[in-house]
Each structure stands twice: as structure tokens, then as C-alpha cells.
Amino acid sequence: MTAAAAAPPMKINVAKVAFTSLAASSIEWYDFFIYGTAAALVFPKLFFAASLPPAVAQLAAFSTFAVGFIARPVGGVIFGHFGDLVGRKKALVTALLMMGLATTAVGLLPSYAMAGIMAPLLLIALRFVQGLAVGGQWGGAMLLAFENAPPKQRGFYGSFAQMGVPAGVVLANLIFIVIDKQVAPENFLIWGWRIPFLLSIVLVALGLYVQLKLEDTAEYQALQALEARQQEAAAKALAAEQGVSLDQAKAQLRAAKGSPILKVIAKHPKEILLAAGAFVAANGTFYLMINYALAYATDPHHGPHVARPVILWAVVLGALISAPFLPLMASLSDKVGRRSVFMSGAVLMGLWSLVFFKLIETGAFPMMLLAIGVGSIFNNFMYGPQAALMAELFDTEFRYSGASLGYQIGAIFGGGFAPIIATALFTKYATSMAVSGYMAALCVISLISVFLLAETHSKAHRDAMGVS
């Protein structure tokens, strides 16, 4: 019997849960993305020695950006273990509080001129905390919607956590556009850049709302109830067999239960690795479009050297144009399957990558918007079904651990090193086609990974209805 079959009837406002998932994900990703924007525009000048060549300082800034990605699978392991053992809601609340406090603290950091080497070290430490938090947040926000959704709409509702990404992109870039317009350039470098980070204290309030107003997912509560009954029966049998008290028998069973993360690694190593491979294209091409392209477009030496607000607006509008395709593709995957939608996106994104930088290099706003807008649409062919695809690979008892681990490992090899690798490739080959080739290679990896995975959405329908 599955956990779903054992579940008592529960009245759940799925729309409320889904929009809370969206809000949590949006603000959390806003926090994560403002760091990337600042790493492209501000951090090279503020947190590293003025004697460094600009290209080296930019690489150093993107390296601190990558630290967050290195921390993400660690966060996925910690919060996955926590979320599978004690609940999705508690893990999500903890992640939201960590992210809100860490991002706010970045806005209070001293510059290199004020604190020397301590400035970049503190920046790296807080970026690591951000990475831990986002590594835990995704699984909690996604499962909050996914595990409460109707069986045949899990792709659609799971995508609400995914929609936090374009929402976070829009919020992060809009705030920098507004500040850039309202604050003089010299003041922007001194204090203006800090405002987006200080606003992140809002995430703490949202975390408290989730803690006070929402219950854990129906599917997780059903699993807990089923396990409690099974443990009670097993403890009684063990107590009778060993001649110990019921409490002692329960303590023995809890000690023998083991870690969800170790269980999922032992049972599903192939699925974890293929899930990671599936994610590298969506994640890597995304950060190349919103972070590396930002630095490249404003580069006075090698790029088209457009004004900062021009490329920021291209990113914002591109995210807005492409955003409806995310739930649309997720909903389509509920009908035709996750793999076909995802693989179509990998192919289209791989082809588009070959013209992406040529459009950016025109320096013309319509062409840059076309590059980012169409690229983001193709990216959402992959990112829309992503939550359901990964969640359906794993059983409820270790779903948080398995999905988070696959997702965050993919994030390291996808987005984490993408801006660094792109910068190094352009430095070596002096052509954006080298970066385009790298984008296309990421798409090939994801295409092969998803091809090797079994289709999951039909199985998920049966499981959610209690059919073994």
C-alpha cells in the first residue's frame, strides 16, 4: 500500500499552497540572483584589490558566485535529510530564514578598501550560506505544491516553485534598474547596490507566515501516519521478543531507521546522476543568458559595450515574455509526458545557442531582447516539467533527498561554473562562438540524460491514487 492510499480525507486549498510556494521561491531566487547581478556589475570593483586587472577581478567575482552552487548540493543533502525525516514545511521555513538573513548581511559588508582581505572572505562565507539555503528551499517549495496537487496536474502545480525563477529574475533586475536611475554612479558603488540585499529581510517574514499558516503536505502526513502505525506494531513485537519496554523498543527502531539520503543513494544512484545530467542545460544556459551575457554586453573591451540599463531591460522583458511558457510546458507534460517536452527544449536551446551571442553582439536592444526572450522560452521547455520529472523519480520517504540531490548536483555542473567557463573560453579563443559551443554541449548532455530516463508521469498518476 502506498502512502497516498493510506491517507485520510484532507481538505487542502491547493491554490493557496501553490501561490505560497511561488512566493517563497520568488523571493528566495531574488536573493540568489541579485548576487549574480552584483557579481557582474559591482563586486569586481568593491571586493577585490584595485590593482587586479579587470578581467581577473571579474573572474574572481564570478568565482564567489560559483561558491553558492558548490554549497547547493550540501544544502540539498542536509535539508533533504531533514525534510524527509521531520517534514517539508519545517525544512522550507529554515531555508527561507537562512537565505533572508544571509542576503541581508551581504548588504552590510565592508568593501575591500575598508576591510582588506576580510571583505571577500566574508562575502564568500555568506554566499556559501545562500547556497545551502537555496539547496534546501527548492525541494521544500516544490514538494509543498507537488505533493498537494491532484494526480493529473502535478506537473502544472509543481511548476509554481519553478515560476519563482523568472519572477526572481524580474525582481532582481528591476530593483537594479530603479536604483541605477535614481542613484548617482558614485553613490551606487558606495551604498546604492546595498539596497536590494537589505530588502531581503522580507523573506524572514514570509518564513514565519509559512510556519504559522500552512500544514505539511498531504502525502507526507499520510506517510508519517502509515509509518507510525507500522512502527507501533513493530515495537510491540520487538518488546515482546526481547523483554524490554515499549519505549526502549521504539528507541531501537528509530536508531535502526537510517538516513533517507543514504537510502536514496543506495537505491537510485542512476536516477540521481541522470537527473543531474538532465538539469545542466536548463541551469547552465540560463545563467549564461542572465549573468555572463550581462557582463559581456557591458564590457568596453570585448563586448558591444551597451549601457547597463539596456541589457538589464532585455533580461527583464525576456523573462516576462518567456514566463507563461513555464506553466504551459509543465501542463503539457501532464498530458504527453515529461520526456518529450524536455527533450524538445534541449534540442531547440542547443540550436538557438549558436546564434545567441551574435544577436547580443549587435548591441541593438531588439536583437538582444530576441536573443534572451527566445532563449528563455526554449529554456522553459526544460525547466517547466523539471520539478515533476525529478520528484516522480523517487518514493515519498526519500523524495526530498533524491530530488534535491539530483537538482543541486546538476546546478554545480550547469550554472555554477558556467560564467567562469564562458569567461575563460572567450579569453582563450577571443570569439563568442566558443561560448555558444559550450552552451550547445550542455544541451547535448541533458538530451542524452533525459533520453535514458524512464517516463514517470503515468506511474505518478497511479501512485497518487493509491494503486501499487
Which of 138, 457, 458, 155 minimizes the C-alpha distance to 328?
Answer: 155
Residue 6 in this model has a pLDDT that exceeds 50: no
Q: What is the mean pLDDT of residues 438-453?
A: 96
Q: What Å distances lie between residue 354 and 296, 376, 427, 438, CA to CA?
A: 16, 14, 18, 10
Highest mean pLDDT among 119-123, 201-205, 257-261: 119-123
Is residue 48 a contact partner of residue 61, using CB atoms and an 8 Å limit?
Answer: yes
Q: What is the pLDDT of residue 181?
A: 83
Residue 142 in this model has a pLDDT that exceeds 50: yes
Closest by Cα among 41, 299, 54, 72 to 175: 41
When pLDDT is averaged across residues 166-188 and rounded to a whole number, the result is 84
> Looking at the predicted structure, is the pLDDT value of residue 254 above 50?
yes
* Cβ count within 10 A of residue 413: 18
Q: What is the pLDDT of residue 433?
A: 94
| Max mean pLDDT range (215-224, 278-287, 449-458) | 278-287
Q: What is the pLDDT of residue 9?
A: 42
**Lowest mean per-residue pLDDT among 242-256, 283-297, 304-318:** 242-256
For 320-375, what is each residue's pLDDT tens digit? Answer: 999 999 999 999 999 999 999 999 999 999 999 999 999 999 999 999 999 999 99
Which three three-digit cell numbers place residue 364? 541593438
Across residues 57-61, what is the average pLDDT?
A: 82
Q: Residue 425 — pLDDT band, cuts 50, 70, 90?
A: very high
Model-wide pTM > 0.75: yes
CATH topology of domain 11-216+258-464: Growth Hormone; Chain: A; (1.20.1250)
Boundaries of every domain in the chain: 11-216+258-464, 222-255
pLDDT above 60 (res 34): yes
Q: What is the pLDDT of residues 378-418, one digit of tens each?
A: 999 999 999 899 999 988 888 988 888 898 889 888 877 88
Q: How many CB atoms lie within 10 A of CB 305?
A: 12
Asked if 404 and 138 count as a contact pair (C-beta separation under 8 A), the reply is yes
Judged against a pLDDT cut of 60, whether residue 68 lies above it is answered with yes
Helix orientation angle between 54-86 and 260-267, rounded to the nearest 10 degrees:
100
Q: Which residues contact 297 (CB under 8 A, 6 or more apart)?
A: 303, 304, 305, 306, 310, 311, 360, 363, 368
More confident residue, 277 or 210: 277
Provide the mean pLDDT of the chain: 83
